[in-house]
Each structure stands twice: as C-alpha cells, then as structure tokens.
Structure 1
Amino acid sequence: MKQETKTLIIQLSLFIVTIITTTLAGTEWQFGRLIFDNSVQWLNWDKILKGLYFSIPFLGILTVHEFGHYFVAKKHKVDVSLPYYIPFWTGLFLSIGTMGAFIRIKTRDLTNKQYFDIGIAGPLAGFVAALIVLFYGFTHLPSKEYIFTIFPEFLQYGHDYVNKLPSNWEVIYLGDNLLFTLFEKFVADPSLIPPHYELMHHPILFAGYLSLFFTSMNLLPIGQLDGGHILYGLVGHKKHALISKGLFILFISFAGIGILNPLILFEEMIITLPLYLLFLYSALNSSFEDKKNRLLAAVVIASLQFLLVLLFPSVEGYHNWLFFGFVIGRFLGVNHPQAEVVKIDNTRKLLGWFSLVVFFLCFSPQPFSIN
C-alpha cells in the first residue's frame, strides 16, 4: 500500500471518529447529561442521533475553515496535506468532541504573501459558514417551552427556573459577542430568544457560538496563529515580532487579573504567588530568551495585576485564557519564521483590516462561566 493511501485512510478514519465523538458530545450538551450518567435512564438512539444537530454544523464550519487554507495553498502551488481531524471525547466530563483540525504545510520558504493568503483564507471561509449556520439557527428558534422537553422537572418552576434550582446545581453561561448580539437584535424573534444559560441546549446556536469563539482565537495576531500570519504579511518580520510579543503580554496580563488577590489569606498567597510566577515564567518562554528578563517580566506582570485588583477589587480577568496563553507562549511561540518579503497589494491590506473587524465581532472576553 502506498504511503499516500495510508495517509488518506488515517485522515478519513480520524474524520469519521470525530463525527462520532462530536455527535456524542452534542447529545451531552443538548440534554445536559453525560453519556455514562447512570443516575437516570435517559439515553436512547433517538437522543444520540439528535447530537447530529450539533456535530454537522460544527464540523461543517471547521471543515470549511480548513479547506479554505487548503485550496488557497494549492492555488499558490504549496505542498499541503488534507486536514487531520483530532477527536477528543471521554464521556466522563463535558467536551465538544474534538480538539480541532490542522493541515500540514510541507513547502518551506514561503513568502509573506503566501503566509497571508493561506492564513486569512481559513478564518474568513469559516466565518461565512458560521454566519449561515447562525442565521438558520436564529430564524428557526423553538418555543420557550422547548427547555421543558429536555428538563420536564423544571416545569414546576416556570421560566424563572434558573433562580429556583437547588444550590448544588451548576449553570453554564455562554458569554456575549458583538455578532451574537446583532443576530439577537435584528434577526431573531425577540419572544423566542433563549437566555444564555440555555444556549448549549440549542445545538445549532451552540455550534455557531463555538465557531465564533475559535475563529476569534485563530485571528489573534500572535505568533503563527492565522492572525499572526496575517499580521506578518501586513507589517513584516520586525514589526510582527514587536506587536505579537506586546499583544501576547497584554493577553496573559488580562487573563490573570484576580489570581493574586489582596483579600486572600496569607497562607494561600505564599502558595499561589510562587506557583503563579512559575506559570508566567514558563508562558513567557518564547517572548524573552534571556532568563533574567523573563523573570523580571513575570514579576512586573504579577505586580501590576495585584495592584490593579487592590485599586479596583471588582476587576477580574478570564482565567481560562491562561491555558491558551500557556500553549501559545510555551509551545507554539509568539515569533514567526522569516519569509521572503514581497509587496502586499491594497486588496490584501483591506482584507487584513477586515479580519480585525471579524475578530472583534467574534471575540467574547468571558466566553464561558459557571455559577
């Protein structure tokens, strides 16, 4: 069997497995229970198949994103692989069934224009697909009673059930972003719009929301993320290095606000402080080659965060961003490989600025919260 055939079989197998895992994850989110939850008899094939209402639009948007990269790379005669999908699901805790997908660019020595075109094609293609999914979702909303078909036990509380649930219940809230707000105000029937603690039970809307979340993450103009490629194409190597590093430091600085809180006990602080400094030191690995400068930067960031909370106790960052920041800073890096520089035309410059608009439309400062 040829190596190309083996690779194609692996890619197809990963895609099929990812369809299964995202369908199972979609079922869990829609019905608010884990697949292996044996406390009640809730699972049947009909409910499993309803997970397709999540997996099909979500994987559809992801696939459009990846093939946006793929086809533009082919147009530039860049040697590139078909997408590798990454299934991830355990049934032991809530997940979305996948860790995304990627394509392998085998050609080296790309120009800044090639990086720009390949980088911007995926997010813009995925953004258009997400718009279509969200338009359908917001124009086909079920009645307000839909939630009671999932949780019949809530019927006794009425539509104000969230304030009457037992104190040990956890409620997941999805955050706001500008695009969702626009759809709610100008597209959806106001009488049918679900509260944000119900959105994950609406699989099409949930798929669209997650797609916007990942689009905004990809468009961060940092390192070799899609947004980093776009930035590199627009401003070149030196300016990219400065902007990327600066934005990364701002990103983790915002995310960590509140970790060091002057109100916590001294005993907690003497444990939290060194661990957090170690985290920052590791996350800044690709930003500062010199270890002394890296340690100094970690101390300055932590001090400013502490001072900000001291002055404004109600201010708090979104701590879950820290994991993403750690992955970028420690493993992906904030720098970009050097490339041959060719002039970027005005059309590409406009698309680059438009991608920034897309980022702000999709970005949510606190995409998920649990109460």
Structure 2
Amino acid sequence: MDGADGPPSDVLETVFHIRETEHDGDRIRYYGEPLVPRRSLADELREPFRRSGYRLDVETGREPHETTVVATPADGRIDGVPWLNLVLFAATVVSTLLVGAVAWYYIPPSDLASNPLLALRAWPFTAAVLGVLTTHELGHYALGRYHGVDVSLPYLIPFILPFGTLGAVIRMRGRMPDRRTLFDIGVAGPLAGLAATVVVTAIGLSLEPMTVPASVFDTSGQVIVFNDPPLLDLIATALGQPTEYADPTKTVHPVVIGGWVGMFFTVLNLLPVGQLDGGHMVRAMLGRRQETVASLVPLVLFAIAAYLYYVRNLGFNESVGLWAVWGLFATAIAYNGPANPADETPLGWKRQALGLFTFGLGALCFLLVPIQLLG
C-alpha cells in the first residue's frame, strides 16, 4: 500500500499475527502476537511504515501476552526539510552573536546599531555555546535513532541575556519500548554534552584572555560574576591555565563561557524530575520509585534558596532567585513524570554504574552560587 491508502498492512502481516484492528482518530492499533522476536518487530516494520507516512510504536497489549502495533501519521515536512529547526537555528545564531558581541566582546550597542556586522566578532562565543548545546541534543538524537525511537532534530531556543539562548530540546514521539532504551537516550545527552564542554573549555582556556575596555569600568553599577564550577577548575589545573588574572582589565576568553554554559545546563538537565534527562535516567534505574525521588527535588531546591537568602545573606536577584525559580519549575514538571516504558525489565549493573558515573560528573558542575552580583 502507499501512504494515501494507509499503513502497509501487507508487510505487517508477514511478521505479526493481527487479531483485531482499532481506529483511534488518525491512529491505528493492531492487536495480536509477533511472528518474530519482539525486539526485531519494530526494526522489520519501521522503514516500510515510514515510507507510507506513518510512525510506528510497539507496545504491550491489553492482555499479558498480547502486543500492540500502533501506526500514527508522521509529522509533515515540506520537501523533507525540517524548516522549523532551521529557522530556530538561524534565529539562535543571530541572538547569540548579538548577545555575545555586547556582553562578552564589549562592543557598544550603538556601534552594533550602526554596523550590525560587528556582531560577527562574537562567532567564537556562538560556536562554543551552540556547540555544547547542540552536541548534547544530538547525543539524544543518535541513541534515539539507534534504538528505533522516533526523535526529532534539535530545536534551539533563541533568547536574550546572558547567553542569547535558553538551550535546545528534541521531541520524542511514541512510548519508550523498555527501560534500557529510556536510559540510553537519557544518558547520551549529558555525556555527549560534557565531552563537548571539556573540549570547548580547554580551547577557551588556551586562548589569549580578553581585555576589558576602560569604558566598562567607568560604568557605575553591579557586575555579574559567573563562578567557576569544580570541573572548570579541574580542567584549568590540568592545563596549567588561570581562570583569574592579577590584571583587573583581563578576563578569560568568551569561549570559556561556552564551557560554563555546558556545565550549568548539565546540572539543570540532570535534576531527576519529569522529562529532564535526570528524570528519564532515574526512572530507568529505579523504576516507579523515581516518583519518590522527584517529589524531594523541589524541596531541596527551595532549601538551597532559603539557605543562601537567610544564612549567606544573598539577595534574591542572585542565585537565590535561580534556585527558587527552578524549585517552582521542578514542582510543575514533577507532576507530568518521565516517559513510562512499555517493558519494565530492570537495567543491568553496567547501566546502573554508568548512571551513577554520569550523576557524579554532574556533581562536578554544581555550585551553590553559580551567579553572583558584585560592586
């Protein structure tokens, strides 16, 4: 059959015994038993269903020994081109160039207004920030494709200060087949992103420091300081490079900020709640006990905010506000929960160890006070 007639049922019948067919809007469910090993079923059917314009999911049926094959019309693309991804990518390149030029290369906004091409000086900053964020999401994408899960290309999110972006996301469609797949896709992002972060940070520390113009010091007001996570200090120590300079007019190259962004977003993504990477990983590692862990995360974040405000006497517009806002965010997304796999077979010890190792790397990126106001 072609895409206009529906899913290729003739191909399905060669590997799946259909007992019942159910239409749910545009979605079609086939109930029955596989004629091949269940893990091979999706591999056999995914490509012919894709050519017919359908996304394929294999789920547990209504009865213990029953399997359900679900065919869902795939999201349409014009000429196969992911236009939304490309438009967001272009917008984020522009936003990071502009923000990088003003905030990190100290180009006055008035100069940019008269000559926007000056923003191109900030291309190393843009390459560093988008490099670590895109690599993180491509880690998810690669493992999703490897496991046959329908995942989108990364969607970059343009924004304003301080980095010109809010990060990047991918979409995962359909139900996760098992906990192993959920874990692999979840852990791939942080590991890939951290690898890129280490490379970007090492490159940035090896570059000549930036000279801060005298006009910046003449401007009254407070200065935002981004404190060094332990991982950044470890990389600097290994390379024998400083992160601070005796000369107050010198500061690290903006490429190092790309590494800082990678570490900061790694910490946030590894929070074990909802659809964050940490939520998926802990759901795969602990099963439904993940809900107990997730319920504690907002309390911990609020406790950090309270400690910084009442004990450390920091203002709300510093890291206090950061952790308080993320406490509210974690509360909201905790109710949605992570993806629920169809197969609840526990993970083996190797994946459990890899998960603990990844959370350990994330701990090296954590700071109680990542952002501070001085002056």
TM-score, normalised by the number of residues in structure 1: 0.71
Q: Name 2:205's counterpart in structure 1.
A: 138
Residue 43 of structure 1: how far off its partner (Å): 6.7
Structure 2 counterpart of 1:370: 373
5+ unaligned residues in a row in structure 1: which ranges? 155-160, 260-308
- In the TM superposition, what whole-angstrom CA distance separates every residue of 1:118-140 from its partner, at most 9, and x where no partner exists? 11001100100010011111122
Alignment gaps of 5+ in structure 2? 1-74
Q: Could you tell me which amino acid in structure 2 is paired with residue 357 of structure 1?
A: G
Among 163, 166, 169, the alignment partner of 1:99 is: 166
What is residue 322 of structure 1 aligned with on the other side? 324
Q: CA–CA distance in 2 between the matches of 1:113 and 1:8?
A: 29
Q: Quick one: higher RCO (CA 8 Å, sep 6+), 1 or 2?
A: 1
User: What SS does the aligned partner of 1:51 have?
Assistant: helix
User: Which shifted more, 100-109 or 118-127?
Assistant: 100-109
Structure 2 residue 138 is the aligned partner of structure 1 residue 86: no
The answer for the alignment partner of 1:275 in structure 2 is none
Provide the rounded CA distance (Å) in 2 between the counterparts of 1:41 and 1:131: 31
Deviation for aligned residue 1:47: 3.6
Q: Is residue 252 from structure 1 mapped to residue 302 from structure 2 by the alignment?
A: yes
Identical columns (%): 29
Structure-2 separation of matches of 1:44 and 1:4: 36
- The one-character-per-residue Cα deviations of 1:38-88 (angstroms, maximum 9, x if unpaired) are 4x7897456411111110111011111111000100111111111112112
1:151 aligns with 2:192: no
- Per-residue deviation at 1:335? 3.1
Contact 2:124 2:255 in 1 (8 A): yes
Which residue in 1 is equivalent to 2:223? 171
Matched, 1:55 2:105: no
Query: CA, structure 1 residues 313+363, in 2 after alignment: closer, same or farther (shift >3 Å)?
Result: closer
The 3 A distance-change label for structure 1 pair 53 and 198 is farther
What is aligned with 1:116? Answer: 183
Please, which of 74, 78, 91 is the counterpart of residue 5 of structure 1?
78
Specify the alignment match of 1:355 in structure 2.
Answer: 358
Q: Structure 1 residues 29 and 199 mapped into 2: Cα distance closer, same or farther (>3 Å)?
A: farther
* 2:159/2:165 contact within 8 Å kept: yes
Q: Distance in 1 between the 2:261 and 2:130 partners? A: 11
**Alpha-carbon shift at residue 170 of structure 1 (Å):** 1.6
What CA RMSD, in Å, does the superposition of the two structures yield over aligned residues? 2.9
Distance 1:343 1:324 in 2: 30
Distance 1:313 1:321 in 2: 14
Counterpart of 2:282?
Answer: 231
SS in 2 for 1:327: helix
How many residue pairs are counted as aligned between the two chains? 295
Is 1:209–2:260 an aligned residue pair? yes
The one-letter amino acid of 1:318's match is: V
The structure carrying a bigger strand percent of its residues is 2
1:314, CA displacement in angstroms?
5.1
- Partner in structure 1 of residue 60 of structure 2: none
Q: How many Å apart are 1:219 and its aligned residue?
A: 1.0
The alignment partner of 2:364 has SS state of helix
Asked whether the 8 Å contact 1:221–1:230 carries over to 2, the reply is: yes
Q: Secondary structure at the match of 1:132?
A: helix
Contact 1:58-1:208 within 8 A present in 2 as well = yes
